[in-house]
């Protein structure tokens, strides 16, 4: 049987959270990849890219790997019973339960992070504790069958780590070379620790509205 990989896709998803690990995991021989949403209607990512689901919550088969990407669209999903029910059901039988960026908060809202080490985007890392998780620094954090990746581009690291586990390090390195994944950014501002105080403040301000919505949703969920 094919190794079934399923990505939750939803309006205002951060497309690179999804497409980065998708690009890596789609190379896995014998796998079949699903983009799953409530309907098969195309959805628009946060930056305008159109993504088309190929499975619904009702038609998606049992997944070997469930991946929840993040983005502004998770704010609504934190309280969406239909989505959380689907996530719990698939997670209960999946070999790997995974997330990229703020997708980890969906796992938290589904009750899947209690007592487990997890990471997420730096600007949401503190929110993990509200779901009983153990916030842990790292590009990729593993706790049993739970694998969470940090912000956005960490999805590539997560994908490569899975390829190595499922096949071999040599295969993962071949995939890495194929996509020429050799980060050498023009600026050393990729983490809060290396960015200047002005850049950090600007980034926080840019995400402030979404952060407030997220905090309010989490407060309603957890009663805090």
Res 11: pLDDT: 98
How many Cβ atoms from other residues are within 10 Å of residue 171's Cβ?
Answer: 16
Asked whether the CA dihedral 38, 121, 95, 34 is positive or negative, the reply is: positive
- Residues identified as active-site: 101
Distances (CA, A) of 172 to 25, 87, 137, 139: 10, 28, 23, 17
Each residue's pLDDT tens digit, 143-157: 999 999 999 999 999
Query: Alpha-carbon distance 169 to 84, whole Å?
Result: 34
Query: Alpha-carbon distance 149 to 139, whole Å?
Result: 6
Res 224: pLDDT: 63
Write down all domains in the chain, each with its CATH number in brackets: 3-182 (3.40.50.880)
Residues of the chain short of pLDDT 50, as ranges, are none
Burial 102-133 (b: 16+ CB within 10 A, else e): bbbbbbbbbebbeebbbbbbbbbbebbebbeb
Each residue's pLDDT tens digit, 176-200: 999 999 999 999 999 999 999 999 9
Mean pLDDT (the chain) is 97
Res 1: pLDDT: 77
The candidate with the shortest Cα–Cα distance to 149, out of 163, 136, 130, 167, is 136
């Amino acid at each position: 049987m094919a190794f079934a990989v399923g990505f939750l896709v939803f309006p205002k998803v951060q497309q690179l959270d999804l497409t980065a690990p998708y690009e890596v995991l789609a190379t896995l021989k014998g796998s079949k990849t699903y983009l799953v949403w409530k309907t098969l209607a195309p959805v628009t990512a946060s930056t305008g890219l159109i993504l088309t689901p190929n499975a619904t919550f009702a038609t998606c088969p049992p997944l070997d790997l469930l991946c929840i990407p993040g983005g502004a669209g998770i704010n609504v999903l934190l309280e969406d019973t239909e989505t959380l029910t689907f996530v719990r059901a698939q997670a209960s039988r999946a070999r790997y339960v995974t997330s990229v960026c703020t997708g980890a908060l969906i796992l938290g809202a589904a009750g899947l992070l209690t007592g487990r080490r997890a990471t997420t985007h730096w600007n949401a890392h503190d929110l993990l504790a509200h779901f009983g998780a153990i916030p842990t620094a790292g590009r990729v954090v593993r706790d049993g069958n739970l694998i969470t990746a940090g912000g956005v581009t960490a999805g590539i690291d997560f994908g490569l780590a899975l390829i190595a586990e499922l096949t071999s390090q040599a295969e993962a390195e071949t995939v890495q070379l194929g996509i020429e994944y050799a980060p050498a950014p023009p600026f050393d501002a990729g983490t809060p620790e290396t960015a200047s105080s002005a850049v950090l403040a600007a980034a926080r301000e840019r995400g402030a509205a979404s952060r407030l919505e997220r905090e309010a949703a989490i407060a309603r969920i957890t009663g805090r």
